[in-house]
Amino acid sequence: MTVTDAAVTPEFDTTLTVSGHPALTNDDLLPLPREQRRWGSFEIFNVWTNDVQSLAGYTLAASLFITAGINGWWVFTAIILAGLFVNWLVNLTGQPSVKYGIPYAVMARASMGVRGAQFPALIRGVVAIFWYGAQTYFASTAVSLALNAILGSPATATFLGMTWVDWVSYVAVAALQIVLFVRGITWIERFLNVAGPAVYVVMVALLVMIWIQAGDRLLPAVGQIFNNNQVQGWAAVSAFVGVIGTMIAYFSAVVINFGDFARFSRSQATMRRGNFLGLPVSLTFFTFLSLFITAGSFIVLQGGQGEPLTNPADIVGLVGNVALTVVAAVTFVIATVGINLVANFIPPAYDLSNLAPQRISFQAGGYLTAAIGFVVGALWVATISQIGLPMFVDTLGAILAPLYGVLVADYYIVRRRHLDVSDLYSMDPAGRYHYEKGWNARAIATIAIAAVFSVATVWLPALAFLSGFAWVIGAAIGAAVYVVLMRTVTSVAPAVPAS
């Protein structure tokens, strides 16, 4: 089997042809040829826009203003800073995938070993599959909301905590995602390109409707939220830092495997431009819309009583308008399916394929993801949501935090931005990334050492104050320990670029 990297510009690796071992290679894991890298800034922008625009994204953005306890302008500033920081993180992980056209699962082989890379890929895949099932269920609740509004909420028996309307909605959303996946990456690309702008159009229209009804009461309502000063002094500083950490943690799942999308970029410049527009810019605009819609609905729909609602489904539920409920439901489904494809479907499809490339293609990995995720979502109400899934997923995510540090430190410090692409697909014991029987024990040890801290922040109440920054600190520890341990290795000199 042949691996060809056909890039012709300085920011890409030069033309290179090598042999790929069957145990490490299939058509989906090969470096993407230059002529197949069609994504511009708009496509990358939509990856992040769809990541932001889910039900969870809206609720998170709105609730931070309500619950942080600090002035709203400081919350706004913290969200923008988080977007800029995540933008920097993904530029680091995306650069090698743009240069070499390789997915995250292959990129991990440079630091973990050609066999060892299966370990982090599997963990990332498990996290994504669980959240894929959960997000599929959440998206189905929007469909159920619309059907119940049309049918008048028929009273029926439940199975596994869901009515027949819930089940029809759940199966419909699951089927929609599979259809998009089966049609291929081009159809997913088209869906994301439509979904991102469509959600913004509906949100702007909703804001206009609410603003017309609220009139001159809207700005004072927003001002009331912005004048929140419940905490002062160092407690306010801690709350500010906590908002930044929470937003970074929200994006952390996509940060590590961003190369799965960056490899489709036409250039480094288009990737960086798309990241900037999709993260700090889009995140700021979405936060602005979420805040004003929440404040407006508080005045118009709640009569200024109680606490402002931060869940858009709850807001729509108060409207009592069937047409608006249906439109909102379609919007919620589009938004949530978008993030599910970006964060929880494509990554595990690549990761599962990497476990056995000759037996599991990217498409087969997608089918496995859909099948396992369907079971997870079906059991969400009756079982999984009752046994602490977030703790389990947070623990796996904490293990992944040091992996980000290892990947970035390996490429930028140890390899000095150069990889031998042929050795990424080679089982030759003399290969640069073969290490000990395909495993880099130093990388495994690094992840274990740094993960002790990351996992402790999930389970130990005494470290809970670190909040979302546990991921960042875990990644920093992973990078530092890895660089120190790899200094003892003499076979990790940077690959010489092909001439």
Inter-residue contact 128 to 352 (CB < 8 Å): no
The pLDDT of residue 4 is 38
Distances (CA, A) of 124 to 203, 252, 384, 401, 499: 32, 11, 19, 11, 35
The pLDDT of residue 492 is 52
Distances (CA, A) of 105 to 240, 347, 355, 393: 35, 9, 9, 20
Distance CA 412, CA 403 (A): 14
The SS3 assignment for 6 reads coil
For 279, the token pair is: 């993260």
Inter-residue contact 242 to 68 (CB < 8 Å): yes
Phi/psi of residue 18, nearest 5 degrees: -140, 170
Distance CA 476, CA 447 (A): 11
Distance CA 95, CA 336 (A): 27
Cβ neighbour number for residue 221 with a 10 Å cutoff: 20
Angle at 87 between CA 253 and CA 418, to 5 degrees: 85
Domains in the chain: ranges and CATH: 39-381 (1.10.4160.10)
Q: Spell 49-58 as b/e; 16+ CB within 10 A means b.
A: bbbbbbbbbb
Inter-residue contact 34 to 8 (CB < 8 Å): yes
Inter-residue contact 259 to 107 (CB < 8 Å): yes
The pLDDT of residue 2 is 38
* DSSP symbol at 420: -
The pLDDT of residue 11 is 58
Angle at 397 between CA 127 and CA 482, to 5 degrees: 125
The pLDDT of residue 353 is 80
* Digitized pLDDT (tens) for each residue of the chain, 499 residues in all: 434 333 333 455 544 444 567 778 877 788 988 888 989 998 899 888 877 877 777 777 777 887 778 887 888 889 999 999 999 999 999 999 999 999 888 999 999 999 998 887 787 788 888 888 888 888 888 888 888 878 877 777 788 888 888 899 999 999 988 888 888 777 777 777 777 777 788 778 878 877 888 888 887 877 776 676 777 778 888 888 888 888 887 888 788 889 989 999 999 999 999 999 999 999 999 888 888 888 788 777 666 666 777 777 677 767 666 777 787 778 778 777 877 887 788 888 887 887 777 788 878 888 888 899 899 888 877 776 666 555 666 676 677 889 899 999 999 999 999 999 989 998 889 889 999 989 999 999 999 899 888 888 878 888 877 756 778 888 999 999 999 999 876 445 445 444 3
Instruction: Identify each DSSP E strand in 14-162 by its residue range.
Output: 16-19
Distance CA 468, CA 278 (A): 21
Q: What is the pTM of this model?
A: 0.81
Angle at 96 between CA 90 and CA 98, to 5 degrees: 85
Inter-residue contact 143 to 333 (CB < 8 Å): yes
Q: Which residues contact 100 (CB under 8 A, 6 or more apart)?
A: 5, 12, 13, 31, 107, 419, 421
